[in-house]
């Protein structure tokens, strides 16, 4: 990503619910920011400009923003002239780049990213001081974030992580985008290495920490699920002493490690040993129904498919109860929450076919769960699976891709399209169970051929599942099928 002109841009905050109040944005004097980050500032308090936002992409910069020159594909400092022209109030400058000629007030700091994080922590803890819910997991963290924010928004003024702002840059950007009247901040936290969640947790000091599940995501870097579990547990490192740790109790690796966490704990899952567990689950194409032994008179519905999404809902329910949201309000919120795009999202293709787009992320556990649900959906035509590579699986890549065959049967999903390089292992495994003409393989440089073949063969009465890691960009295939356009 080129952090002077990247794709993920400026976030000014968007509450889940307005709660009858006007939006109130961040306002800080530059001199105060200088004190917070330990920088020198040429202006005094009296004539110090007011900062009303932060931005690291000059194409999205608004007047009054503090420009953050981050290093990506290009050095963000090279975009300072554009930031000045767009009306920035000031800019950070790394000490090893100073002096820089600009009309903007400059705050010279050792590292702009570290300064951004320091500013975010100050704004979070000293200026707004909302309750913080931090959510992580190998799968389901975005959906759980969306569900949790919807539940809490029935009673509080809530801001949640937008899109995938879930790393060391996205978390502080989300914080600094909060309205000053925010009561609860719901943060999604991702990780691909040890220490990452520790850093974000200690920065935000959450009141509630949630782990959705432990899967194989990033096993290339961690080598074992045990080490993934160790890294996920870092989300509790900054948990307040009176905070609550909520986790998937069906996962033995989490139960073992939770014994070292001194804070209050609540578990969710499908096993009755959990504090909250689901029963009588019914999964349909566009929704899933379930009951809880805790409230036998209430039947819950979530507008997404799959048993695995029920466990995400259970996590959101526990968070809601931690904040005293009534069961009936939780029931209503879950029934109507809005899911982030491209996560088990149903769309209609140009030929009239139904598309199940789940192309934002993929790991072997999630892939098998989605395929097994998809295999049971009613269909007058054919069920067609379009499967792309799952990334960051390391030495286990071939084995884990081949293992997806366990969730594929020709009598349930008669046609399979494979896209990428790692899925060749799955192609080879399927050769023992599928007719040769039912499995279609495309290298990653042949996406246009994949699109053309799907458009030629998919019929109005088919249903099509598309799932892969985001790096395969199957969203392009989804878009082409919806629009009826060729690559």
Strand pairing partners for 226?
none
CA distances from 102 to 45, 83, 110, 127, 161 (A): 21, 10, 19, 30, 33
**Burial (0-12, 13-18, 19+ Cβ within 10 Å), 484:** exposed
For residue 170, say whether it is annotated as part of any ligand binding site. Answer: no
For residue 143, say whether it is annotated as part of any ligand binding site. Answer: yes
- How many Å apart are CA 199 and CA 167, to the nearest integer? 10
- How many Å apart are CA 364 and CA 105, to the nearest integer? 50
Phi, psi of 435 (to 5 degrees): -65, 145
Q: 92 near 116, Cβ under 8 Å? A: yes
For residue 141, say whether it is annotated as part of any ligand binding site. Answer: yes
For residue 363, say whether it is annotated as part of any ligand binding site. Answer: no
For residue 240, say whether it is annotated as part of any ligand binding site. Answer: no
Structural element, H or E, at residue 465: strand 463-467
- How many Å apart are CA 84 and CA 105, to the nearest integer? 10
- How many Å apart are CA 29 and CA 48, to the nearest integer? 6
Structural element, H or E, at residue 113: helix 112-122
Largest CA distance in the chain: 77
| 3-state secondary structure (DSSP) of residue 188 | strand
3-state helix, strand, coil in the chain (%, to 5): 35, 20, 45
- How many Å apart are CA 424 and CA 442, to the nearest integer? 9
Structural element, H or E, at residue 174: helix 170-176
Q: 9 near 55, Cβ under 8 Å? A: yes
Nearest to 131 by CA among 323, 406, 366, 328: 323
- How many Å apart are CA 164 and CA 188, to the nearest integer? 8
Binding-site annotation, residues: 137-143
Binding-site annotation, residues for ATP: 137-143
């Amino acid at each position: 990503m080129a952090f002077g002109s990247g794709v993920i841009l400026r976030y000014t905050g968007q509450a889940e619910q307005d709660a009858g109040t006007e939006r109130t944005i961040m306002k800080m004097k530059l001199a105060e920011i200088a004190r917070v980050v330990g920088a020198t500032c040429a202006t005094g308090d009296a004539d110090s400009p007011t900062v009303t936002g932060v931005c690291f992409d000059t194409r999205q910069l608004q007047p009054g923003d503090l420009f953050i020159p981050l290093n990506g594909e290009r050095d963000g400092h090279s975009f300072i002239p554009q930031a000045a022209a767009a009306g920035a109030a000031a800019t950070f400058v790394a000490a090893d780049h100073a002096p820089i000629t600009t009309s903007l007030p400059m705050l010279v700091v050792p590292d702009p990213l570290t300064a951004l994080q320091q500013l975010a922590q100050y704004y979070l803890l000293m200026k707004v001081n909302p309750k913080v819910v931090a959510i992580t997991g190998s799968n389901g963290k975005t959906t759980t974030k969306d569900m949790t924010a919807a539940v809490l928004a029935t009673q509080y003024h809530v801001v949640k992580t937008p899109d995938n702002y879930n790393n060391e840059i996205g978390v502080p950007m989300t914080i600094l985008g909060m309205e000053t009247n925010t009561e609860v901040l719901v943060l999604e936290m991702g990780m691909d290495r040890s220490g990452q969640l520790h850093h974000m947790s200690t920065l935000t000091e959450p009141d509630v920490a949630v782990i959705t599940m432990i899967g194989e995501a990033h096993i290339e870097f961690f080598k074992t699920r045990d080490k993934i579990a160790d890294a996920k547990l870092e989300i509790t490192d900054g948990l307040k002493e009176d905070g609550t740790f909520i986790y998937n109790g069906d996962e033995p690796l989490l139960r073992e490690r939770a014994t070292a966490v001194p804070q209050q704990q609540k578990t969710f899952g499908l096993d009755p040993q959990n504090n909250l567990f689901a029963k009588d689950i019914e999964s349909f194409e566009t929704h899933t129904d379930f009951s809880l032994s805790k409230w036998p008179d209430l039947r819950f519905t979530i507008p997404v498919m799959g048993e695995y999404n029920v466990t995400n809902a259970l996590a959101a329910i526990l968070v809601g109860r931690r904040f005293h949201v009534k069961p009936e309000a939780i029931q209503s919120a879950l029934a109507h929450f809005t899911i982030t795009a491209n996560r088990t999202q149903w769309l209609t293709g140009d030929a009239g076919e139904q598309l199940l787009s789940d192309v934002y992320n993929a790991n072997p556990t999630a892939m098998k769960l989605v395929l097994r649900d998809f295999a049971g959906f009613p269909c007058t035509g054919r069920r067609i699976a379009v499967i792309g590579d799952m990334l960051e699986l390391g030495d286990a890549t071939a084995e884990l891709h081949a293992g997806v065959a366990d969730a594929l049967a020709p009598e349930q999903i008669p046609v399979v399209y494979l896209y990428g390089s790692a899925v060749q292992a799955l192609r080879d495994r399927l050769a023992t169970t599928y007719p040769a003409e039912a499995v279609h393989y495309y290298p990653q440089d042949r996406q246009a051929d994949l699109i053309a073949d799907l458009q030629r063969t998919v019929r109005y009465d088919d249903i099509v599942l598309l799932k892969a890691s985001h790096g395969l960009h199957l969203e392009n295939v989804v878009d082409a099928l919806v629009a009826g356009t060729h690559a």
